[in-house]
């Protein structure tokens, strides 16, 4: 397996304070991994070490098998920050061609990428006239120049409307499908649930979870939420029979362990026509994140 990114017990100290503490993780070619954590958890410092702006105090870190900051590593990684800034007097086309020259990439690819991110019609407008969302899409386009082996994204959908967010993740999926690794940090947890292969969670500088979302849900042991809508009759009686609680005049909410879900659904089904609707909701990524951000350290879930 080709690793675009690998960290082995990486720590970083600032004076007497350790802000990244023995973090070991990897991102393989074609893999999409989300990095989550509260402000101050160490995500930005880890990103800076990956980019070669900071060196680990201890531990080892490689980008495509090379030390960060070396010419080979810099050519392998592309970065999109949360707030991108470009020379306002240049056009989108001029910005893209400038970065294409820096990366020794095909100028035609730069033009195609403008179309792919939805900026084809604005390619000859000055960037100073772009909205924040347009600048963010331009930032994504320049990050994709040269087909990087590792795409590093920090709050990449900041400023994007819902449709643009959806299109953004379509592009990320395309890039990963062509073999680029994607490592992204975001506080927009809802949109990440079905968009990444794995979730890594940092807390106070430590990596406290690193696994696919399904495994993190299982490890956390969080309850499944089942909401049952009653056609008519005594909703309190239904709540008592199902072991749930009434949430309004017609619905009962039940919390159950994952391994008891089928038993609960069978009990609900036995009520027949009294039930008009059933909604089953597994723990969300936000629920999982909240759990791993608060539990005491017991090793990394992986």
Q: Which domain holds residue 135?
A: 3-217
Q: pLDDT band at residue 237, thresholds of 50, 70 and 90?
A: confident
Distances 47 to 10, 42, 231, 268 between C-alpha atoms, Å = 12, 9, 53, 48
Instruction: Say if strands 275-281 and 224-230 run parallel, antiparallel, or are unpaired.
Output: antiparallel
Residue closest to 210 by CA, chosen among 294, 292, 90, 98: 292
Task: Kindly state whether residues 62 and 124 are assigned to the same domain.
Answer: yes
CATH of the domain at 252: 3.30.70.120
Residue 287 forms part of a structural domain: no
Residue 85 forms part of a structural domain: yes
- Whether the CB-CB separation of 96 and 145 falls below 8 Å is answered with yes
Distances 62 to 33, 72, 149, 293 between C-alpha atoms, Å = 16, 11, 12, 27
pLDDT, mean of residues 241-265: 87
Q: How many domains does the chain have?
A: 2
Task: Kindly state whether residues 19 and 123 are assigned to the same domain.
Answer: yes
Give the DSSP H or E segment for 235: helix 235-242
Residue 291 forms part of a structural domain: no
- Report helix angle 107-116 to 132-143, nearest 10: 140
Residue 300 forms part of a structural domain: no
CATH of the domain at 85: 3.40.50.300
Task: Kindly state whether residues 191 and 275 are assigned to the same domain.
Answer: no
Residues 56-108: pLDDT tens digits?
Answer: 999 999 999 999 999 999 999 999 988 888 999 999 999 999 999 988 888 88
Residue 128 forms part of a structural domain: yes
Task: Kindly state whether residues 157 and 259 are assigned to the same domain.
Answer: no
Distances 161 to 24, 158, 165 between C-alpha atoms, Å = 34, 9, 6
Task: Kindly state whether residues 197 and 243 are assigned to the same domain.
Answer: no
In the predicted model, is pLDDT for residue 297 greater than 60? no
Q: Where are the beta strands (DSSP E) in the chain?
A: 3-14, 17-28, 32-37, 58-63, 77-80, 150-154, 181-185, 198-203, 206-211, 224-230, 245-246, 251-256, 275-281
Residue 21 forms part of a structural domain: yes
Residue with tokens 């309190």: 236
- Which of 173, 196, 217 is the last residue in one of the domains? 217
Query: Which pTM does this prediction carry?
Result: 0.86
Task: Kindly state whether residues 172 and 48 are assigned to the same domain.
Answer: yes
CA 176/CA 63 separation, integer angstroms: 16
Instruction: For residue 287, report the phi and psi dihedrals to the nearest 5 degrees.
Output: -60, -45
Task: Kindly state whether residues 25 and 150 are assigned to the same domain.
Answer: yes
Residue 51 forms part of a structural domain: yes
Task: Kindly state whether residues 153 and 263 are assigned to the same domain.
Answer: no
- Whether the CB-CB separation of 32 and 156 falls below 8 Å is answered with no
CA 94/CA 125 separation, integer angstroms: 10
Task: Kindly state whether residues 210 and 242 are assigned to the same domain.
Answer: no
Instruction: Say if strands 251-256 and 224-230 run parallel, antiparallel, or are unpaired.
Output: antiparallel
Task: Kindly state whether residues 131 and 147 are assigned to the same domain.
Answer: yes
With pLDDT > 70 as the criterion, what percentage of the chain qualifies? 97
Q: What are the tokens at 229? A: 């809508």
- Which of 217, 245, 267 is the last residue in one of the domains? 217
CA 246/CA 255 separation, integer angstroms: 12
3-state secondary structure of 28: strand
169 Cβ contact list (under 8 Å, min separation 6): 191, 195
Task: Kindly state whether residues 140 and 39 are assigned to the same domain.
Answer: yes
Residues 184-222: pLDDT tens digits?
Answer: 998 888 888 888 999 999 999 999 999 999 999 989 999
Residue 271 forms part of a structural domain: yes
Task: Kindly state whether residues 62 and 155 are assigned to the same domain.
Answer: yes
- Which of 185, 217, 249 is the last residue in one of the domains? 217
């Amino acid at each position: 397996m080709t690793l675009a990114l690998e960290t082995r017990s990486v720590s970083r100290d600032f004076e007497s304070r350790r802000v990244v503490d023995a973090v070991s993780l990897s991102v393989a070619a074609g893999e999409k991994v989300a990095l989550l954590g509260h402000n101050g958890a160490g995500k930005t410092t880890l990103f800076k070490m990956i980019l070669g702006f900071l060196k680990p105090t201890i531990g080892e870190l490689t980008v495509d098998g090379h030390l960060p900051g070396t010419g080979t590593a810099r050519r392998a990684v592309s970065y999109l920050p949360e707030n991108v800034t470009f020379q306002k007097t240049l056009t989108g086309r001029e910005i893209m061609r400038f970065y294409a020259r820096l990366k020794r990439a095909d100028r035609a690819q730069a033009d195609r990428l403008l179309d792919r991110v939805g900026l084809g019609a604005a390619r000859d407008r000055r960037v100073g006239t772009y909205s924040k969302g347009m600048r963010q899409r331009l930032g994504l386009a320049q990050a994709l120049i040269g087909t990087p082996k590792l795409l590093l994204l920090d709050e990449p959908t900041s400023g994007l409307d819902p449709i643009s967010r959806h299109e953004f993740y379509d592009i990320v999926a395309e890039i990963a499908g062509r073999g680029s690794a994607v490592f992204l940090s975001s506080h927009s947890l809802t949109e990440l649930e079905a968009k990444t292969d794995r979730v890594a969670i940092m807390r106070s500088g430590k990596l406290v979870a690193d696994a696919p979302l399904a495994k993190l849900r299982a490890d956390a042991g969080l309850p499944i939420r089942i909401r049952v809508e009653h056609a008519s009759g005594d909703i309190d009686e239904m709540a008592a029979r199902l072991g749930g609680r009434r949430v309004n005049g017609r619905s009962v909410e039940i919390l159950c362990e994952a391994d008891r879900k089928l038993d609960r659904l069978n009990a609900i089904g036995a009520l027949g026509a009294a039930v008009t609707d059933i909604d089953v909701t597994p723990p969300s990524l936000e629920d999982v994140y909240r759990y791993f951000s608060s539990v005491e350290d017991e090793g990394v879930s992986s």
